[in-house]
Amino acid sequence: MDSSQSFLSKKSIAAFLAPALILIAVFLIFPAFWVLYLGLTDQALTGVKAVMPSFTGLGNFSRAFHDRFFYNALKVSFIFVFGSAWLGQALLGLVLAVLLYEMKSRWRAVVNGAAVLAWIIPEVVVAYLWIAFLDKDFGMLNQMIALIGIDKVNWLYNHPILSIIVFNTWRGTAFSLLLFTSALETIPPSYIESAKVMGAGLWRRFFEVVLPQIRAILLTDLILITLWTFNVFTPFLLTGGGPSFKSEILPIYIWRTSFKYFKLGYGSAVSTTLLLINFAFALLYLLAQRKAKHA
């Protein structure tokens, strides 16, 4: 029986969908559009301008283009994404997945298990763990490098960007690792075996057999983790964006202008930049999915 219509009447379909869609419309979709309007006002967090903001046109946007803190936040965000998402999570995830695949040992469970653990512990806790880990006087990292004769380093103060990049690599590699691990399992073992028989080493097997097979997954992974990493707020808990704004990624800058300096209107204009970045990567993701389906 062709039943797609008969289980639910048109009325029931609407009634089933409505509660979820209304909630999504009000608290997810509406804010995305309202932020465009807020960005055109001088809305403030408190005071007269909180109740009666006035329309200021594109003032906030043109101000952002002359704001060195905005450029600083953009720059730090790009370095953070390149370092922790691309060089960190994706590359480390790929190397680990390939090595563990080639070795087929019980190391796989150990490494996967540890990476997933780092990934799911609440962000406030991992931030605190890393503050302890990187502490100048008592932290484990400095104690370990002392064993090989290197002096104590004040990591969070002297190398804030490097610190949040290494932290975020630790935090997020699990996703790429798991994704690549399952992608590798779809490669027919005979491909690898015949390459081995022909005498191809690890490098050649990787570039000539493995890489072409997982190229689409690699692209998906890069798009997703780039989008997510632009939207990570956890570095705020490690450095607060400092010292002197050196690790102030875009999300921290949005928080600072809006909730520390109370300028919601200007914060909205800056938020719009992040929404546009997200939108671009979401479209890329959809295109990649579509292409993968048709290929």
Partner 1 sequence: MHKIKKGALYVFLAAVSVWFVLPILWLLLTPFSKEPSLGLSLTAPTLKNFFELSHAATALAAFKNSAIISVSSVLIVVVLSSLASYALSRSNFPGKQLLITLLLIFSSVVTGVAAMVPVYALCQKLGLIDSYLAVVLVFSAGFLPTAIFILKDFIDRVPRAYEEAALVDGSRGIDLYFHIVFPLMGPGLAVVAVLCFVNIWSNFLVPFVLIRSNAKIPISVAIYQFFNEVGLPRIGLISAYSLLYALPVLLVYLWVSKKYGFGFFGGLKG
Q: What is the closest distance, in whole angstroms, from the C-beta atom of residue 193 to partner 1 in the complex?
A: 18
Q: What is the closest distance, in whole angstroms, from the C-beta atom of residue 176 to partner 1 in the complex?
A: 10
CA angle 18, 20, 23 (to 5 degrees): 100
Of 1 and 295, nearer to partner 1 (C-beta) is 1
Contact stretch for partner 1 (CB under 8 A) within 54-62, 82-90, 98-106, 187-195: 98-106
Which residue has tokens 């469970």? 109
Distance from C-alpha of 36 to C-alpha of 222, rounded to nearest angstrom = 28
Q: Is 96 in the site for partner 1 (CB under 8 A)?
A: yes
Q: What is the closest distance, in whole angstroms, from the C-beta atom of residue 99 to partner 1 in the complex?
A: 6
In the list 3, 186, 190, 244, the residue contacting partner 1 (rule: CB under 8 A) is 3
Of 115 and 192, nearer to partner 1 (C-beta) is 115
CB 243 within 8 A of CB 157: yes
Binding to partner 1 (CB under 8 A) within 122-151 occurs at 122-126, 128-133, 135, 137-140, 143
In the list 160, 224, 245, 248, the residue contacting partner 1 (rule: CB under 8 A) is 224
Binding to partner 1 (CB under 8 A) within 259-288 occurs at 259, 264, 267-268, 271, 274-275, 278-279, 281-283, 285-286
Which residue has tokens 């890393």? 130
Tokens encoding 182:
């399952």
Of 160 and 267, nearer to partner 1 (C-beta) is 267
Q: Is 228 in the site for partner 1 (CB under 8 A)?
A: yes
Distance from C-alpha of 261 to C-alpha of 249, rounded to nearest angstrom = 17
Which ranges in the chain belong to alpha helices (H)? 10-24, 30-38, 48-51, 59-64, 68-80, 91-103, 107-120, 123-133, 140-147, 155-158, 160-184, 189-197, 202-205, 211-230, 235-239, 250-255, 264-294
Binding to partner 1 (CB under 8 A) within 48-67 occurs at 50
Residues in contact with partner 1, counted by CB under 8 A, come to a total of: 100
CA angle 114, 118, 120 (to 5 degrees): 115
Q: Measure CA of the first residue to CA of the last residue in the chain; give whole Å.
A: 34
Binding to partner 1 (CB under 8 A) within 180-199 occurs at 181-182
